[in-house]
């Protein structure tokens, strides 16, 4: 089968391609990626020579290029997006362009080329924010309430994907996943930024009061869930994917990281808050568990340990990216 992956030089995309090439060695994968600041060919180095893998540098908003890449494709797995909330606050326009217009260009091409499945990779941020005391978590029936330009652009893309199913019968599936962590995550995100700061004897900057909560999931557990939805999921359906069953506030995450890296709490600083900061994300993943048998393999402590070890062993990968990531925080005042 010929598979088109968009955004495969980014964090989740490269992990997904590596996973898929190993699990389905007979498939041929084309990776279409614009190589924005978040796309790195260093992340695909270990499989770039695989005869079943091909890289195309291109923009998903470029219909000509997308149509060429879609030739003979049966499965599209769509990761390409601007993905960082802090950058969307600084400059929303590119989020609308890549995440909304780019998705629409891909959907049109998918119809033209009669693809058998268009899988859209989305986020739990489309649902807005839970309160710390809320009992009910996000589920497939939760009403959309995006609160950052990033979340709004992803919400728009989800609506478009569903509209193409209803209007044009395009065989789609959607997954909305919680916060991923693991190998090859750009050091701009909380986990990867904090771990690499600590390795460099720098502080972890925890936004606001530190009582914000995210639902952390190991990236390969996400890749396995996408695989299951593609192979066994029902066309037209949405599946939510999440990790933790108990809340861990960001400040506790930072403390655990510091401890594991041999640092005391003087390496943690409560800092400037994010504008419109969503208080809490928590995902109810009962549907994918009951219908497809998915559950996360790794608990939070294992996720943290494995992720720290990867960044300790792979400085060659993250060190060249650190300056660009910290330049963002110098501009936004988050150090």
Catalytic residue status for 150? yes
| Least distance from ligand TDX to the Cβ atom of residue 292, Å | 21
User: Residue 236: left (phi > 0), alpha (psi -120 to 50), or beta?
Assistant: left
CB proximity list for 45: less than 8 A, separation 6 or greater = none
Catalytic residue status for 200? no
Out of 5, 53, 65, 83, the only residue in the binding site for ligand NAD (CB under 6 A) is 83
Of residues 33, 82, 125, 278, which has the active-site annotation?
A: 125
For position 99 contacting ligand TDX by CB under 6 A, the verdict is: no
For position 33 contacting ligand NAD by CB under 6 A, the verdict is: yes
Residue 11 binding target from ligand TDX, ligand NAD, none, CB below 5 to 8 Å by type: ligand NAD
Site string for ligand NAD, 98-137 (x = CB under 6 A): x---x------------------xxx--------------
**CA 219 to CA 185: how far, in whole Å?**
9
Longest distance between any two alpha carbons in the chain, whole Å: 57
Of residues 33, 59, 86, 124, which has the active-site annotation?
A: 124
Catalytic residue status for 144? no
Out of 186, 215, 227, 278, the only residue in the binding site for ligand NAD (CB under 6 A) is 186
Where would I find the H helices in the chain?
A: 11-23, 63-69, 85-90, 93-95, 102-112, 149-168, 190-199, 219-232, 250-260, 286-292, 300-313, 315-332
Residue 79 binding target from ligand NAD, ligand TDX, none, CB below 5 to 8 Å by type: ligand NAD
Residue 255 binding target from ligand TDX, ligand NAD, none, CB below 5 to 8 Å by type: none
Out of 4, 66, 70, 80, the only residue in the binding site for ligand NAD (CB under 6 A) is 80
**CA 192 to CA 55: how far, in whole Å?**
26
**CA 284 to CA 101: how far, in whole Å?**
30
| DSSP for residue 233 | S
| Catalytic positions, written as ranges | 124-125, 150
């Amino acid at each position: 089968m010929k598979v088109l992956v968009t955004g495969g030089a980014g964090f989740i995309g490269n992990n997904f391609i590596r996973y898929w090439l190993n699990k389905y060695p007979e498939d041929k994968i084309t990776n279409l990626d614009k190589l924005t600041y978040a796309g790195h060919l260093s992340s695909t180095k270990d499989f770039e020579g695989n005869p079943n893998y091909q890289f195309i540098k291109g923009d998903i908003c470029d219909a000509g290029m997308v149509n060429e890449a879609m030739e003979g494709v049966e499965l599209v797995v769509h990761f390409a997006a601007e993905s960082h909330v802090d950058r969307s606050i600084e400059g929303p326009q590119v989020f609308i362009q890549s995440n909304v217009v780019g998705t629409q260009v891909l959907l049109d091409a998918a119809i033209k080329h009669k693809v058998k499945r268009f899988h859209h990779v989305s986020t739990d941020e489309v649902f807005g924010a839970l309160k710390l005391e809320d009992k009910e978590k996000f589920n497939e029936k939760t009403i959309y309430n995006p609160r950052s330009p990033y979340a709004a652009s992803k919400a728009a893309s989800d609506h478009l994907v569903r509209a193409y199913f209803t209007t044009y019968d395009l065989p789609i599936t959607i997954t909305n996943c919680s916060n991923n962590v693991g190998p090859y995550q750009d050091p701009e995100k909380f986990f990867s930024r904090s771990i690499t700061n600590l390795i460099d004897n720098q502080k972890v900057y925890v936004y606001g009061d530190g009582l914000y909560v995210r639902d952390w999931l190991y990236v390969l557990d996400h890749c396995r869930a996408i695989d299951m939805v593609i192979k066994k999921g029902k066309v037209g359906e949405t599946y939510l994917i999440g990790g933790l069953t108990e809340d861990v506030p960001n400040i506790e995450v930072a403390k655990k990281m510091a401890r594991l890296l041999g640092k005391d709490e003087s390496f943690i600083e409560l800092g400037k808050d994010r504008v419109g900061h969503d208080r809490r994300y928590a995902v109810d993943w009962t549907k994918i568990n009951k219908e497809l048998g998915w559950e996360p393999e790794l608990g939070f402590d294992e996720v943290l340990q494995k992720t720290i070890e990867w960044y300790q062993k792979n400085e060659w990968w993250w060190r060249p990216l650190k300056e660009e990531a910290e330049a963002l925080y110098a501009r936004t005042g988050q150090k």
